[in-house]
């Protein structure tokens, strides 16, 4: 029985999801760009994907952060970091789920985010403006990039997402779960970490696997 458990565990560790831009296997990427550099020792993203993750109107998903006016830089960096984690992390295996969309076979669900990462994201984005709670669906794509659907009002994040938990859990339809666990606890995934100290998320994946 133990052998079977180990096999299942291993299949959840150090893996890339089957999605639009992911590599099939994680491995070193010397040239990762900007905020994605944290994953250069072992990444599911290519250098090109990491570069595109930093563009305002990236070809990755043609997604426009500035759909209600310019998103402040201090807020945008969290979305870039969220994108780097999603595209590059080999430690999301325990939360990979089937996806029912044309552009990917797998997605993440209920990834336990560290409290600080979620709170800081909300803190830095509360004055940014958006017209939607769930950014995965319901946009008007007629121009080829996402625009607010008819009748949707642009409001500050703090009114659309009254709490940090609301932001983290709702914006990507349940991809993240807000937790009261702290960075370094080994119980939550960090969007941000010091690469000199190694990747803390490997231990977390192991714990949940």
Total tally of structural domains belonging to the chain: 1
Q: Is residue 202 part of a domain?
A: yes
| pLDDT given at position 116 | 98
Q: Is residue 4 part of a domain?
A: no
| pLDDT given at position 103 | 81
Q: Is residue 3 part of a domain?
A: no
CA neighbor of 40 nearest in space, from 107, 81, 86, 89:
89
Model pTM?
A: 0.92
Annotate 80-149 with DSSP letters as a single string: HHHHHHHHH-S--GGGEEEEEETTEEEEE--EEE-HHHHHHHHHHHTTSEES-S-TTS--B-TTSS-BPP
CA neighbor of 86 nearest in space, from 45, 46, 118:
45
Pick out the chain residues at pLDDT < 70. 1-9
| pLDDT given at position 30 | 85
> What is the residue whose two structure tokens read 């807020």?
75
Share of the chain above pLDDT 70, in %: 96
| pLDDT given at position 60 | 82
Domain with 66 in it:
9-208
| pLDDT given at position 56 | 80
> What is the residue whose two structure tokens read 């985010």?
113
Q: Is residue 55 part of a domain?
A: yes
| pLDDT given at position 100 | 77
Which tens digits make up the pLDDT trace of 75-121?
999 999 999 999 999 999 999 999 878 888 999 999 999 999 999 99
CA neighbor of 130 nearest in space, from 193, 47, 78, 69:
69
């Amino acid at each position: 029985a133990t052998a079977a458990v180990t096999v299942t565990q291993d299949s959840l560790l150090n893996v890339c999801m089957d999605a639009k831009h992911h590599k099939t296997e994680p491995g070193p990427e010397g040239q990762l760009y900007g905020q994605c550099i944290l994953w250069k020792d072992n990444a599911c993203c290519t250098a090109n994907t990491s570069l595109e993750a930093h563009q305002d109107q990236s070809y990755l998903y043609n997604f426009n952060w500035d759909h209600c006016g310019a998103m402040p830089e201090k807020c945008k960096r969290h979305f870039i970091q969220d994108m780097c984690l999603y595209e590059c992390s080999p430690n999301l295996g325990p939360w990979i789920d089937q996806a029912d969309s044309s552009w990917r076979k797998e997605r993440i669900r209920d990834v336990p985010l560290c409290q600080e990462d979620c709170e800081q994201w909300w803190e830095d984005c509360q004055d940014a403006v958006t017209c939607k709670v769930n950014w995965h669906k319901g946009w008007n794509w007629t121009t080829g990039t996402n625009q607010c659907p008819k009748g949707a009002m642009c409001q500050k994040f703090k009114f659309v997402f009254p709490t940090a938990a609301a932001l983290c859990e709702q914006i990507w339809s349940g991809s993240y779960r807000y937790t009261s666990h702290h960075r370094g606890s080994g119980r939550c995934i960090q969007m941000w970490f010091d690469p000199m100290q190694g990747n803390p998320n490997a231990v977390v994946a192991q714990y949940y696997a």
